[in-house]
Amino acid sequence: MRLTLAVHSISQTDFGPKTQLEGTRLQIDVEELRRCILQDRRLQSVDLEIARPGESCRAGYVFDIIEPRAKEPGSGVDFPGILGPVTPVGQGVTHVLRGAAVTVVDGGQPGGELGYESRRGGVSKILEMSGEAAKRSSYGDLQHLVMVPRAHPDIKRHAVLNALRVASCRAAVFLAQTALSQLPDSTLDFELEGPKSRNGNLPRVAYIGQIHGHQHGTESDEHILYGANTRGMMPTPLHPNEWMDGAVVTSYSWGGRGLETYFYQNHPIIGELYRLHQSGQANFVGAIATISSDQESEMKRNSMMAAQIAKWNLGADGVVLTKYAGGAPHTDMFETARQCEALGVKTVVLTSDTASDSRAESALLINTKEVNAIVSHSEGSDVRFQLPTVDRIIAGNSEVADIISGLSELTPDALCGIANNQGASRLQPIIY
């Protein structure tokens, strides 16, 4: 399977009379974009703003961040299962507006399982464009189209969230379609032969990633994998190119701190494994998508099956495992790693510090001697960012505007792009 990313660098984004890409300048006809978003009859209006690197601007609470991308006609469907029929992605040419992002802000209800507030209490995800936090965030140097879609008041919350998801994908495709007829600045090829690849006697490596944590459930109309909600899902081989090309988006889970669709599209771990592959250090044989379960028997079964697929279907010698944030997914990841090790497949896991007392002994929810290769992005609860007062607040509603305009300090878990479960984080716990 071969995917070519046609990369168009973006240095400037503005609203203007015509939606077009001129060199590295992206111009957006705001009314045309509005019509595109509001074709969804559940939405009554949408606020559209641009937030640029270094601007004194803060947005919240963030629903998701997506990189603008559009498939070359004939290459496949954009976001299959969400915007179009379910057909495979990961092949052909995909145009990318590198340096740009679509950032969707949730204007819906506070609290509860589907609300936009953080489940731990306190603020939910914030996009910060200036100061130290922006400098440390992967999103601080991007040109953001920030949109706040607003649903009709009688629309149920799950349908509002569904509308936010559809709008986020539509906007990403809308922007990137400006690049379709243009020559890219560069192209990146991603090609793997798959499990049958021999590639000398290089060690065979794979990725096992969770794409949802079911301790928080899903909505029946929630889009996660090719538009499906992943309830009852079993581990499944999912080609690394599919991860990067719109097969997966993040779930609604507000507990999913440090997870955005942007880093499925630019998956740091898949990127690293490709680098090992392309530089002849390892043979990247594939990836497995899985979930964490809320049930013991399902957890055991899924862990076992993911390990079996890694061993017998992919023939992996080593795997990288990630979780979908949280403590329950941590269990599933460790059990999967343990099962892999039992089959002779070497593992490394990406964890976060699950306790709050800074003691190394509390930091792992589970300690097993087999799972001994541990990388942590921490949650950085001991890191504080002093926030500047900002000129512009883009908020989902007036209550959130009041809260986030008054913020003076935040920890990384409330800031987009600093702690990240997909491998993008530069945070590391150092043992003192």
Partner 1 sequence: MTTEMEKAGIPVAQVTPMTLVAETVGSNRIIRGRSIVHPLGDVDLAPEEEHELRRMLVQRALDALASEDRTTA
Partner 2 sequence: MKVVHYLNQFFGGVGGEEFADTPPNFLEGPVGPGKLLNQILPEGSQIVGTIVCGDNYAVENQQDIVSFVNAKVKEARADLFVAGPCFNAGRYGMSAGAVCEAVKSESDIPVVTAMSEENPGVDVYRGEVLIVDSGSSPANMRDVLVRIANLGAKLANDETVGPPSTEGYIPQGFLRTEFVEKTAAQRLAEMLMAKLKGESFEPEIPVTTFEPIPVPLMTTEIAKAKIALVTDGGLVPRSNPDNLPRAFSRVWGAYSIDERPKLLEEDFEVAHGGYDNAHVQQDPNRLVPVDVMREMERSGAIGSLHEEFLSTTGNSNPLENSRRIGREMAQRLKEAGVDAVILTST
Site string for partner 1, 88-117 (x = CB under 8 A): ------------------------------
Q: What's the token pair of residue 426?
A: 């530069």
- Could you tell me which of 369, 377, 292 has the C-alpha nearest to residue 338? 369
By CB under 8 A, is residue 273 in contact with partner 2? yes
Q: Which residue's CB is nearer to partner 2, number 368 or number 389?
A: 368
Query: Interface with partner 2 by CB under 8 A: which range of 34-42, 60-68, 223-231, 321-329?
Result: 321-329
Site string for partner 1, 284-313 (x = CB under 8 A): ----------xxxx-x--------------
**Helix locations, 137-225, DSSP H:** 157-176
Kindly state the number of chain residues that form the binding site for partner 2, as judged by CB under 8 A.
74
| Cis peptide bond upstream of 252, omega within 30 | no
Binder of residue 369, out of partner 2, partner 1, none (CB less than 5 to 8 A by kind): partner 2
Q: What's the token pair of residue 196?
A: 């049958």
Query: Mapping DSSP to helix (H, G, I), strand (E, B) and coil, where does residue 425 land?
Result: coil
User: Is residue 268 within 8 Å of 424, Cβ to Cβ?
Assistant: yes
User: Is residue 74 within 8 Å of 32, Cβ to Cβ?
Assistant: no
Distance CA 149, CA 128 (A): 20
User: Is residue 332 within 8 Å of 299, Cβ to Cβ?
Assistant: yes
Residues belonging to the chain: 432
Residues 319-348 that bind partner 1 (CB under 8 A): 328, 331, 334-335
Binder of residue 296, out of partner 2, partner 1, none (CB less than 5 to 8 A by kind): partner 1
Residues 136-175 that bind partner 1 (CB under 8 A): none
User: Is residue 376 within 8 Å of 428, Cβ to Cβ?
Assistant: yes
Site string for partner 2, 238-267 (x = CB under 8 A): -----------------x------------
Which of residues 45, 87, 186, 358 is near partner 2 by CB under 8 A? Answer: 358
Sign of the torsion formed by the C-alpha atoms of 238, 240, 242 and 248:
positive
Binder of residue 272, out of partner 2, partner 1, none (CB less than 5 to 8 A by kind): partner 2
**Distance of closest approach, residue 156 Cβ to partner 1, in angstroms:** 20
Q: Which residues bind partner 1 (CB under 8 A)?
A: 215, 217, 294-297, 299, 328, 331, 334-335, 365-368
